[in-house]
Every structure is written in C-alpha cells, then in structure tokens.
C-alpha cells in the first residue's frame, strides 16, 4: 500500500515539474498581463451586471472578467480583462451610460496596462520568513532528537517539507487550478502542518527508541 502511495506521489511530482517547466502554471487573470479600466458609475451597482455588460461588448459569454468596487461609496468599478480594443472600450462606455444614466466620456476612463506577474515575485515575500522559521524548527528538532542522529533529523524535516510542497505544486499544475491570492497562504498552511506532523513523528520514534532501550537494559 505504501509503495503504491509513494509511486502516485512520485508521478504527481514529476508530472507537476514537467508541466510547470514546459507549460507554466495557470495564473489567474489578475496575475496575467491584463488591462484594468476604472469606470465611474456614480451609484451602487451589481458586479455581475457589469461583468455581463463587458462580456456582451467582448462578444464572449465566457470571457474572464474581474470587477471590483472601489472608492469609499463603492460607486466606481475597477474592470479587469485580458484584452480590450479601443472600439470595445467605446462600446462599453456607451452601454454603461445607457444602463446607469451616466454621461461618461471614454477619456474619463482610467486605463492601466498591467504586466504579467512572475511566479518568483509572488513567492519572494515569503522566502525569508519560511527560511527563518525552518532554522528554528531544525534547531529545536536537532536538540530534542539528537539521539536519532542530527543528519537524519535534518534530512527528514527538510526532505518531507519540500516533498509536500512539490506535491502541492504538482496538483496545481496538473489540474490547472488558477494561481490566485490564496495559493501561497495555502502552501504556508501545508508547510506548517507538514512540519508539525514530522516533529510529532520524530517524537514518537524517539519514545519508541527509549522504550526499546529500557527493555534491553532490564533484560540485562
């Protein structure tokens, strides 16, 4: 059973790495190159309604569109799309004016071209906190379980933590789950849970080893 599980995990890791290298991860719209349009609605609005208007203008009912309310009174829409032409922006402005009774001009729309966010830029803020926490965990584990062998303890803690992250990466890559704002926090939760389980396992191994040693001493 264990061999089967290990084989499956190995396949996930290998496939995930291959897909990431050759195809890349599936980043959500916010993290891909996109255009952001800030449109003043002048009143409260329903995000889904704006999304539908944008899709009608783009001529694609399945187009990926993100709409957020901005400003204190939530009367301005921040619309994010992968791409939109000047003609489509004019059509969008006309439809919004007709729907909400506004008199906006195309020149009133603030358009921002956002470049693609690199994966390492997403991960970078968390690198040092993870490294520092790992150093403390290793220091604790090496002191508490030194009888098991310092190198073995380090290899187990670091190795299993890395493998857990590779499995997580593999699942994201294979299933093409979009990388969003919660992707890294989930990775951190997996890291914490993995380290906790590994340390707990080391504690059990240490206890068993001590019990076996005590039994041998009694027999002598």
Domain boundary among 82, 114, 146: 114
Give me the sheet containing 76-81, strands edge to edge: 65-70, 76-81, 34-40, 110-114
Residues of the chain predicted below pLDDT 50: none
**pLDDT given at position 171:** 96
Q: What is the pLDDT of residues 51-76, one digit of tens each?
A: 999 999 999 989 999 999 987 778 89
**Do residues 167 and 97 both lie within one domain?**
no
**Do residues 56 and 144 both lie within one domain?**
no
**Do residues 126 and 191 both lie within one domain?**
yes
**pLDDT given at position 128:** 92
174 within 8 A of 186, measured Cβ to Cβ: no
Q: Determine, yes or no, domain membership for 10.
A: no
Q: Determine, yes or no, domain membership for 104.
A: yes
**Do residues 135 and 108 both lie within one domain?**
no
**Which residue bears the tokens 């499995």?**
167
**Do residues 143 and 158 both lie within one domain?**
yes
**pLDDT given at position 214:** 64
180 within 8 A of 28, measured Cβ to Cβ: yes
**Do residues 200 and 126 both lie within one domain?**
yes
Q: Determine, yes or no, domain membership for 203.
A: yes
Q: Determine, yes or no, domain membership for 186.
A: yes
**pLDDT given at position 212:** 67
Q: Determine, yes or no, domain membership for 17.
A: no
**Do residues 126 and 200 both lie within one domain?**
yes
Calpha distance 192→190 (Å, rounded): 6
**Do residues 105 and 169 both lie within one domain?**
no
Per the structure, the count of domains in the chain is 2
**pLDDT given at position 81:** 96
**Do residues 44 and 94 both lie within one domain?**
yes
Domain boundary among 60, 86, 114: 114
Task: Domain of residue 74: give its range.
Answer: 33-114
**Do residues 171 and 211 both lie within one domain?**
yes
**Do residues 128 and 44 both lie within one domain?**
no
Distances (CA, A) of 145 to 3, 123, 162, 214: 27, 31, 20, 17
**Do residues 163 and 129 both lie within one domain?**
yes
């Amino acid at each position: 059973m264990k061999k089967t599980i290990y084989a499956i995990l190995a396949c996930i890791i290998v496939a995930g790495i291959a897909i990431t290298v050759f195809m890349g991860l599936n980043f959500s719209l916010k993290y891909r190159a996109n255009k952001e349009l800030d449109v003043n609605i002048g009143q409260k609005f329903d995000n889904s309604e704006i999304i539908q208007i944008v899709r009608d203008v783009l001529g694609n009912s399945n187009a990926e569109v993100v709409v957020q309310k901005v400003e204190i009174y939530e009367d301005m829409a921040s619309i994010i799309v992968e791409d939109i032409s000047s003609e489509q922006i004019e059509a969008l402005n006309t439809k919004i004016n007709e729907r909400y009774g506004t008199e906006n001009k195309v020149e009133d729309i603030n358009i921002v071209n956002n470049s693609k966010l690199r994966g390492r830029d997403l991960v970078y803020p968390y690198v040092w906190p993870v490294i520092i926490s790992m150093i403390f965990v290793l220091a604790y584990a090496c002191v508490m379980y030194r009888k098991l062998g310092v190198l073995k303890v380090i290899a187990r803690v670091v190795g299993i933590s890395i493998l857990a992250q590779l499995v997580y990466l593999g699942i994201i890559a294979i299933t093409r789950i979009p990388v969003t704002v919660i992707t890294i926090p989930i990775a951190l939760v997996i890291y914490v849970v993995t380290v906790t389980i590994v340390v707990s396992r080391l504690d059990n191994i240490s206890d068993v080893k001590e019990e076996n040693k005590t039994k041998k001493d009694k027999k002598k």
